[in-house]
C-alpha cells in the first residue's frame, strides 16, 4: 500500500509543478512580448541580443512544455525519493516471518493424526 501512496504523491507533485511552471513561463513570455512592443513604440534603445533570444525561445510552446516537464520531473523526484529510499530500506531490513496459519496448514498435511495434532498445538503458541 505504501508504494501506491508514493506513486500518487509523485504524480500529484509532478502535475502541480508542471502546471505552475507552464503558467509562469507563459506569463513571462507575454510580459516580455509586451515590453518589446512598448520599446518599439517608445523608440527606446533596442534590447540586447541575449534578451531577444531568450524572449523568442521562451515564447515557444514546445520549449515551455519541455522546461515545465523537466522541472516537474526534477521536483517530484526530489520530493519523493527520500521516502522511496526509506521504503526500500525497511523492506530489506524486515525479518521474514511465516504466518501461523501457513504453519498450521503445513502441520495438517502430515500423515498421521497424532503428529498433526502435536504440530497444530505447537504452532498455536
Same domain membership, residue 90 and residue 48: yes
Cα 41 to Cα 30, 32, 38, 45, 52: the distances in Å are: 17, 14, 5, 11, 16
Same domain membership, residue 120 and residue 89: no
User: Structural domain of residue 38, as residue ranges?
Assistant: 2-94
Mapping DSSP to helix (H, G, I), strand (E, B) and coil, where does residue 99 land?
Answer: coil
pLDDT tens track of the chain, all 125 residues? 577 888 899 999 999 999 999 999 888 888 877 877 777 676 555 656 666 666 677 778 888 899 999 999 999 999 998 888 888 877 787 665 655 555 555 555 556 666 666 666 665 55
- 20 and 13 Cβ atoms separated by less than 8 Å: no
Cell numbers for 92, please give them. 530489506
Same domain membership, residue 108 and residue 83: no
pTM for this one?
Answer: 0.61
- Count Cβ atoms below 10 Å from residue 80 Cβ, excluding itself: 21
Same domain membership, residue 87 and residue 102: no
Tally the domains of the chain: 2
Same domain membership, residue 122 and residue 80: no
Same domain membership, residue 124 and residue 89: no
Amino acid at each position: 500500500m505504501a508504494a501506491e501512496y508514493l506513486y500518487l504523491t509523485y504524480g500529484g507533485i509532478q502535475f502541480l509543478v508542471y502546471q505552475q511552471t507552464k503558467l509562469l513561463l507563459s506569463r513571462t513570455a507575454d510580459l516580455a512580448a509586451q515590453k518589446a512592443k512598448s520599446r518599439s513604440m517608445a523608440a527606446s534603445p533596442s534590447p540586447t541580443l541575449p534578451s531577444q533570444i531568450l524572449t523568442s525561445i521562451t515564447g515557444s510552446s514546445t520549449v515551455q512544455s519541455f522546461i515545465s516537464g523537466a522541472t516537474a520531473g526534477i521536483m517530484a523526484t526530489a520530493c519523493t525519493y527520500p521516502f522511496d529510499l526509506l521504503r526500500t530500506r525497511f523492506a530489506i531490513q524486515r525479518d521474514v516471518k511465516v504466518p501461523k496459519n501457513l504453519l498450521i496448514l503445513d502441520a495438517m498435511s502430515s500423515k498421521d493424526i497424532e503428529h498433526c495434532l502435536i504440530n497444530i498445538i505447537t504452532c498455536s503458541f
